[in-house]
Amino acid sequence: MNKGERIAKVMARAGLCSRREAEAWIKEGRVRVDGKVLSSPAFCVQGQQRITVDSKSIPQIKPTQVWLYYKPRGLITTHKDERGRPTIFQSLPPDLPRVISVGRLDINSEGLLLLTNDGELARSLELPSTAWVRRYRVRIHGKVKVSELEKLQHGITIEGIHYGSIIATLDRQQGDNAWLTASLKEGKNRELRRVFEFLGWPVNRLIRTNYGPFQLGDLTPGKIKPVSPRILRDQLPKKINR
């Protein structure tokens, strides 16, 4: 017997919000199914049941889309900032549907950010089990010791927090600054900044160039470009053919 899909998953796939946000909205009493207020995110939706949030029907589930976006420095990766700082979503083209970011880049970081209209896909691509490599170009202040870089591939613990393997190479030393290429699979908040600062090399520029199979390419700050359906089918066959 088909038990349907969990309400939070349906809302996320409709591009309305992330699954976590959907669960919070349900607890706040904002979500109804066929007119009845939901009290638990464990509810499963079947057939053509009508779902509303704040008395408005949720959007129909549309085909999964993904965009490559060059996040500029100075923007927050959130839909609303309590301190009133500008967000990436305020800078996106007005004709773009509601999208969710796959992970985040901090306010001073730039480069490749994946955006999608499918909240469930965004969640799955963020999971450590995806094991996608994130690659960055990093400019640091200081004289780099290659031997210190090589140690990072075994992980490092700083103030009780363990950071996993980082593959880092020296591209070039320019006076008191150096450019590095750094790759990791599971990035904690501000991981590269904290690790390199611990080594005595504060980061003064950080650009993400790759997220799994997707590359920044020739995108410039603030620009966005859609990923073709064919590439999505090739790269995400199990995740978009649900």
* Catalytic position from the list 34, 95, 106, 171: 106
Tell me the per-residue pLDDT of 142-191, one tens digit each, with 9 for 90 and over.
999 999 999 999 999 999 999 999 999 999 999 999 999 999 988 788 99
pLDDT at residue 73, rounded to an integer: 97
- Among the listed residues 180, 228, 188, 226, the one whose alpha carbon sits nearest the alpha carbon of residue 206: 180
Q: Please give the share of the chain, as a percent, with pLDDT higher than 90.
A: 63
Quote the DSSP letter at residue 128.
G
Instruction: List the structure tokens of 133.
Output: 């490599």
**Residue 1 confidence class, pLDDT cut points 50, 70, 90:** very low
**Residue 237 confidence class, pLDDT cut points 50, 70, 90:** low
For 234, residues 6+ apart whose C-beta sits below 8 A from its C-beta are none
Would you call 118 a catalytic residue per the annotation?
A: no
Q: How far is the C-alpha of 85 from the C-alpha of 68, rounded, in Å?
A: 23
Lowest-pLDDT range of 25-34, 123-132, 167-176, 194-203: 123-132
pLDDT at residue 79, rounded to an integer: 82
Global confidence as pTM: 0.80
pLDDT at residue 2, rounded to an integer: 54
